[in-house]
Amino acid sequence: EAGVAQSPRYKIIEKRQSVAFWCNPISGHATLYWYQQILGQGPKLLIQFQNNGVVDDSQLPKDRFSAERLKGVDSTLKIQPAKLEDSAVYLCASSFDVEVRTDTQYFGPGTRLTVL
């Protein structure tokens, strides 16, 4: 079974530029998550989708971050404009069904973003 795919693996941009990350979840997984992991910290949830609807985006900085999952499969996370403090690893995870009480999340390899 293929895992969660993410691209690109690395990205370097200047501050105030825009950037987008792509995620393809495990086949058949209805729920998709985006996490931000700053160096030395654990992952922090940014947004959670159930199919193509948003379940939780309370930690997403909506003035600069946006995410979509138009067809309930792939997802894109965008930052516009980027700030220095956005430098982090952006992780995508998926799980089969959020309605299942113990729904294990499986993570992709992440995209390492450096903002100069």
Partner 1 sequence: DAKTTQPPSMDCAEGRAANLPCNHSTISGNEYVYWYRQIHSQGPQYIIHGLKNNETNEMASLIITEDRKSSTLILPHATLRDTAVYYCTLNYGGATNKLIFGTGTLLAVQP
The smaller minimum CB distance to partner 1, of residues 56 and 68, is found at: 56
72 contributes a contact to partner 1 by CB under 8 A: no
Per-residue contact track with partner 1, 77 to 96, x per CB under 8 A?
--------------x-x-x-
Three-class SS of the chain: CCCCEEECCEEEECCCCCEEEEEECCCCCCEEEEEEECCCCCCEEEEEEECCEEEECCCCCCCCEEEECCCCCCEEEEECCCCHHHCEEEEEEEECCCCCCCCCCEECCCEEEEEC
Contacts with partner 1: how many residues (CB under 8 A)?
Answer: 25
Of 27, 63, 84, 101, the one binding partner 1 by CB under 8 A = 101
Cβ contact 19:78 at 8 Å: yes
Per-residue contact track with partner 1, 18 to 57, x per CB under 8 A?
-------------x--------xxxxxx--x------xx-
Which residue ranges make up the site for partner 1 (CB under 8 A)?
A: 4, 31, 40-45, 48, 55-56, 91, 93, 95, 98, 101-110
